[in-house]
Structure 1
Amino acid sequence: MGKLSGLRHLFMTLFLHNFASFMVIPAITDVTMAALCPGRDECSLAIYISGFQQAIIGLGSFVMMPLVGNLSDKYGRKALLTVPITLTIFPLAILAYSRTRSFFYAYYILKILTAMFCEGSVHCLSLAYVADNIPEGRRASAFGILSGIGSCAFVCGTLSTRFLSTASTFQVSTAMAMLSAVYMRVFLPDSIINDNLSTPIISEGKSDGVANQNEEPDKKMQVFKTMPSMEDMLALLKSSLTFSQAAIVSFFSNLADVGLHASLLYYLKARFHFNKDQFADLMVITGVAGTISQA
């Protein structure tokens, strides 16, 4: 338990960050409908732009995640965790200030740009942080605790939304996101940076090309040259049949989950006139079930 207790600051950081992210989910449907189709419970435009947003974020994340992982190997998990946790604050702050149409579009654009870097990176970097600090034989338990904390934050975040107004929801979410960033910078120790670490998705030729240069290149240029390209990522997928199969399963699983979530809330609002309170009730039920299943 000594090793796991050493991760308590990471667990608290993730709880605060996920709490801030999850508590706005029940409210964002009402905000979107009010901004794009005020006074209506049906709005095809809201569904279209939500789907477009998810598609762009997914493609951007596919490109950015290997870059984030590569940079975290060089500069440390804490340094790279700081970026997505901090960027998460800005879209929330826009809707905390105002939820009119112009502010919603500002949120929409900024959310796409930031989520391409933030979506999934906090979770992936957290897993890498755990792997850095926990022996291999105990990592499964630590990963399970990490997942349980995410489920707990989901329940607490959506439950709190049930008792807050829409404006207060985004204000509290912004405050919690800021608190998570401050807490992480103050209390979370960094993993040891290994300068000799090389990532497997870097092609051998590219690594050799950087290593065999006669002159010491500029640091920024060296980092740029060691960034994984699309060719490197495809080579990684082809390098292991098990990894490729896991990636395919993950792709279709997330495709179904995101597609269902993107349309279900709008369907419930159009068909049964749900608002954020009813959305929060449903999410609390599913969150509690998920938390119990991971206990």
Structure 2
Amino acid sequence: MENLTSLIHLFVTIFLSGFAMFMGVPAITDVTMLAICPGQDECSLAIYLTGCQQAIIGLGAMIITPLIGNLSDEYGRKALLTLPMTVSIIPLVILAYSMETNFFYAYFVIRTLTAMVSEGSINCLALAYVADKIPDVNRASAFGILGGIASAAFVCGTLAARFLSTTSTFQVAAFMSILAAVYMRIFLKESLPNGDDIRQPILKGEQDVIRSDSDLENTRQVFKRIPSVGDLIFLTKNSVPFSQAALVSFFNSLAEGGLLASLLYFLKARFPLQQKPVC
């Protein structure tokens, strides 16, 4: 497992990014309730808005994540990882600056848009980076370590939010998110697919005819770089392992999304503890 040393900077990047993202999860409940239903411990509107946001993010990520993954095969994992890690900073900075109602709605809209890019892409590109660096015989172990790093970030971020005020939580989260992006750009090395024989394009190709000055016709294969909905449907129908994995992932995400949209609001209503100061 000596190849794991090449993943140290990726692990640090994922930990910092996950730490920043998960820090805001417990605190956003109080911010949402304060903006939408001030002075109340129960608010069905907040649950509905959170659920709608999760649904919109999921639909957007379903289209954007394959596009980012496909482009990373061409331009590199680090280059494409820069995009989701950068845009994920913006919503945190908004709430770090102010949590007034207008700023909350700005956060809500921008978070919905940026999460379409960052929600699944960071994990997708991290897994692709590991696959580029680690031989297939050790790949499952490396994936497990990456999952453990993400889980550690979840635990540490949640615990850190417990000891900070709501305002400080988002300020620290914004700082950690910026630190993750800067660290990634400085220390993480670029990675491209290693060209193994098992790698093959999953999108359909098109024939493009090119004429030279001497009117000789040469044919080359041009693969589409932007997957369409038809491409995704084609892949799902023609790859049984992929369709099975996609089905499991769909129901798992459905359960997690439904739980996330309601659990924290239920706990707040069930255990109405004194709210931490927002400043």
Question: Normalised by the size of structure 1, how large is the TM-score?
Answer: 0.85
Q: Structure 1 CA distance, aligned partners of 2:196 and 2:147?
A: 31
Aligned to 1:250: 249
Q: Structure 1 CA distance, aligned partners of 2:73 and 2:196?
A: 10
**Which ranges of structure 2 fall in alignment gaps of 5 or more residues?**
213-221
Q: Structure 1 CA distance, aligned partners of 2:210 and 2:33?
A: 56
Secondary structure in structure 1 of the residue aligned to 2:202: coil
Secondary structure in structure 2 of the residue aligned to 1:137: coil
Aligned to 2:78: 78
Secondary structure in structure 1 of the residue aligned to 2:137: helix
Aligned to 1:203: 204
Deviations 1:237-295 (A, max 9, x none): 01122221221111111101110121111111122215778xxxxxxxxxxxxxxxxxx
**Which ranges of structure 1 fall in alignment gaps of 5 or more residues?**
216-222, 278-295
Q: Structure 2 CA distance, aligned partners of 1:103 and 1:84?
A: 22
Q: Structure 1 CA distance, aligned partners of 2:104 and 2:259?
A: 23
The 1:196/1:268 distance shift into structure 2, 3 A limit, reads: closer
Work out whether residues 132 and 194 of structure 2, in 8 Å CA contact, stay in contact via their aligned partners in 1: no
Q: Structure 2 CA distance, aligned partners of 1:68 and 1:199?
A: 17
More helix by share: 1
Aligned to 2:57: 57
Work out whether residues 203 and 224 of structure 2, in 8 Å CA contact, stay in contact via their aligned partners in 1: no
The alpha-carbon deviation at position 132 of structure 1 amounts to 0.4
Deviations 1:125-175 (A, max 9, x none): 000000001101000110000000001111111111111000000000000
Letter in 2 for 1:92: L
The 1:272/1:247 distance shift into structure 2, 3 A limit, reads: same
Work out whether residues 95 and 104 of structure 2, in 8 Å CA contact, stay in contact via their aligned partners in 1: yes
Deviations 1:197-256 (A, max 9, x none): 98633113x3x33xx4448xxxxxxx9953111110001101122221221111111101
Q: Structure 2 CA distance, aligned partners of 1:256 and 1:193?
A: 33
Aligned to 1:112: 112
Secondary structure in structure 2 of the residue aligned to 1:267: helix
Residues 1:11 and 2:17 are matched in the alignment: no
Q: Identity of counterpart residues, as a percentage? A: 61
Aligned to 1:164: 164
The 1:36/1:186 distance shift into structure 2, 3 A limit, reads: same
Aligned to 1:281: none
The 1:116/1:274 distance shift into structure 2, 3 A limit, reads: farther
Q: Structure 2 CA distance, aligned partners of 1:276 and 1:13?
A: 32
Aligned to 1:29: 29
Q: Structure 2 CA distance, aligned partners of 1:110 and 1:264?
A: 23
Q: Structure 1 CA distance, aligned partners of 2:264 and 2:223?
A: 41
RMSD: 2.1
- Of 259-268 and 10-19, deviating more is 259-268
Question: Normalised by the size of structure 2, how large is the TM-score?
Answer: 0.90
More strand by share: 2
The alpha-carbon deviation at position 192 of structure 1 amounts to 3.4
Aligned to 1:237: 236
Deviations 1:87-109 (A, max 9, x none): 11000000000111100000000
Q: Structure 2 CA distance, aligned partners of 1:20 and 1:71?
A: 26
The alpha-carbon deviation at position 194 of structure 1 amounts to 7.1
Secondary structure in structure 1 of the residue aligned to 2:3: helix
Mark the structure with the bigger radius of gyration: 2
Aligned to 2:174: 174
The alpha-carbon deviation at position 21 of structure 1 amounts to 0.3
Work out whether residues 73 and 192 of structure 2, in 8 Å CA contact, stay in contact via their aligned partners in 1: no
Work out whether residues 3 and 133 of structure 2, in 8 Å CA contact, stay in contact via their aligned partners in 1: yes
Q: Structure 2 CA distance, aligned partners of 1:213 and 1:107?
A: 49
The alpha-carbon deviation at position 178 of structure 1 amounts to 0.3
